[in-house]
Amino acid sequence: MIAAWTQLDPGFEGRVLHFVRHGQYESGESGSGGLTRLGERQAKRVASSFGGLPIAGIRSSDLPRAVQTADIIAAELGLHTVSRHRILREVLPSNTVSVRVPRAQREQDRARIERVVARFFRPARQARHEIVVCHGNLIRSLVLRVTAGRVNGFERFRIHHGSISLFVITNRYTQVVAYDSVVHLPLSLRTFI
């Protein structure tokens, strides 16, 4: 499925970032629970969608649900290392209808989104596919940031566990090629809370 999205022109020079939202997880007060059995199955299905694609690396948030998802994907693809990044943790860059976020936290999270863009959204000199496993709010915020130059309104986008959002970065542009794709997940594996 992923290969259909990534039919790149011959001679394409750029980075293709496959942002994966972690699988379903055991929620708790800290939000740092590990994957459920369903979340593990979602992660395996995500991995199967990358079959045959030359993955140059996998990065993940350092929170348990993202770490476990990335480790499952790496194992299924036969990749030996996953780099962990605190910068890829969940964000709350604006108030939402149901959550009032302290101003200092909103500002820190907006600054972190800018650091993610500066660090990961750089063009490459040749076609380079990378998987980034992280969190729904961060992915939703990045979509808004690269398409509209803002992050307010991220909560209006639904995003499924185990979904894939695809960004293509070249010297000329950054494009969102796919958002919240779940074509690799049967209905029985689709969750989004």
Q: What is the pLDDT of residue 97?
A: 86
As a whole number, mean pLDDT of residues 142-162 equals 95
In this structure, are residues 167 and 175 in contact, taking their beta carbons and an 8 Å threshold?
Answer: yes
Global pTM value: 0.93
Is the confidence at residue 146, as pLDDT, over 50? yes
With both helix axes pointing from N to C terminus, report the angle between 64-77 and 37-48 in degrees, rounded to the nearest 10: 40
As a whole number, mean pLDDT of residues 83-103 equals 94
How large a percentage of the chain has pLDDT more than 90?
83
CB atoms within 10 A of CB 154: 24
Least confident among 5-9, 74-78, 89-93, 109-113: 5-9
The domains of the chain, with CATH numbers, are 12-189 (3.40.50.1240)
Q: What is the pLDDT of residue 1?
A: 46
Is the confidence at residue 29, as pLDDT, over 70? no
Exposed (0-12), middle (13-18) or buried (19+): which is 134, by Cβ within 10 Å?
buried
Least confident among 5-14, 85-94, 138-147: 5-14
Is the confidence at residue 7, as pLDDT, over 70? no
| pLDDT (tens digit per residue) in 104-134 | 999 999 999 999 999 999 999 888 999 999 9
Q: What is the pLDDT of residue 4?
A: 47
Q: Most distant CA pair in the chain: distance in Å?
A: 49
